[in-house]
Structure formats: structure tokens, C-alpha cells
């Protein structure tokens, strides 16, 4: 898959202000505010910036954190994991592999066999009902 590179000016034109702040500036949406937080429909979740397939509904769970939470990505090759020492914390950041946009962070308190919780901003995701990726 080709990497996508755009200027901030291009991203600003294509994204909502909230999407731009989260995806391109690494902001975190306020907890319990995201449109997809309580979405339980079958389908897939794509990067809101570039459409890259990121998560499937069968790995989504209610973590109580206030952000959409997944046990694993649809394809590990579609995300990039980066050490993040900002805000006085040591976290692992999740970015879209294709466009480099910030998605959220991984924590190790998840319910699945790997124990991982992908804590993802709703604003970073586009939900596509039905088809899984």
C-alpha cells in the first residue's frame, strides 16, 4: 500500500477541525464524547484520514474508558506503534501506517489473549457497516 503524504493545508481542507486536531496534531478527544463509542454494529473501522482498514467490530469491547476500545487491529501491518513519553507518561502511540495519522494508544489491560487494549479516538475512525476487512 502506498504511503499517503499531504500538507497540513490539504489535511485541513479534508478533515473537520476536530479530526485535524486528533489525527494530525495528536490530540485526544474528551472521553465519553465520541460518536462511535457505543457503536455495537457489525462492520469495520477505517482511518478517517485515508480510509486504511484498521479495526473490525468483533474485536471492539466496552472498556469503560470513554474511548472506543479494541483488542487487536484488523491487520497489524496497517498500524505503526511508537513510544510516546509526552505528558509525563510512558505510553505506546498507535498511528495509521498508511498516512501517519495519530489514532490513539495501546494499554496492557485488555480482555483478550494478548491483554492489549487499543484505545482509539472516535474522531480518528470511519465506521463502515457490514463488511469486515
* Of the residues 20, 37, 43, 52, which one makes contact with Fe ion according to CB under 5 A: 52
Position 99 contacts Fe ion (CB under 5 A)? yes
**Residue closer to Fe ion (CB basis): 15 or 50:** 50
Q: Give the nearest distance from C-beta 111 to Fe ion in angstroms.
A: 26
Q: Give the nearest distance from C-beta 27 to Fe ion in angstroms.
A: 16
Rounded Cα distance, 6 and 74, in Å: 24
22: closest CA among 78, 93, 70, 113? 93
Position 47 contacts Fe ion (CB under 5 A)? yes
**Is residue 119 among the annotated active site residues?**
yes
Rounded Cα distance, 32 and 87, in Å: 21
CA-angle at 82, arms to 38 and 108, nearest 5°: 50
Query: Which residues here bind Fe ion, judged by CB under 5 A?
Result: 47, 49-50, 52, 96, 98-99, 101
Amino acid at each position: 500500500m502506498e504511503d499517503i503524504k499531504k500538507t497540513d493545508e490539504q489535511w485541513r481542507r479534508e478533515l473537520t477541525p476536530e479530526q485535524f486536531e486528533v489525527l494530525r496534531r495528536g490530540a485526544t478527544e474528551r472521553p465519553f464524547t465520541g460518536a462511535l463509542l457505543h457503536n455495537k454494529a457489525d462492520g469495520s473501522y477505517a482511518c478517517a484520514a485515508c480510509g486504511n482498514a484498521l479495526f473490525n467490530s468483533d474485536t471492539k469491547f466496552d472498556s469503560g474508558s470513554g474511548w472506543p476500545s479494541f483488542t487487536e487491529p484488523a491487520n497489524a501491518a496497517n498500524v505503526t506503534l511508537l513510544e510516546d513519553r509526552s505528558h509525563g507518561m510512558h505510553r505506546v502511540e498507535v498511528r495509521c501506517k498508511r498516512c501517519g495519522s495519530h489514532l490513539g494508544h495501546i494499554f496492557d489491560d485488555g480482555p483478550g489473549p494478548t491483554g492489549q487494549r487499543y484505545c482509539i479516538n472516535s474522531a480518528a475512525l470511519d465506521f463502515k457497516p457490514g463488511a469486515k476487512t
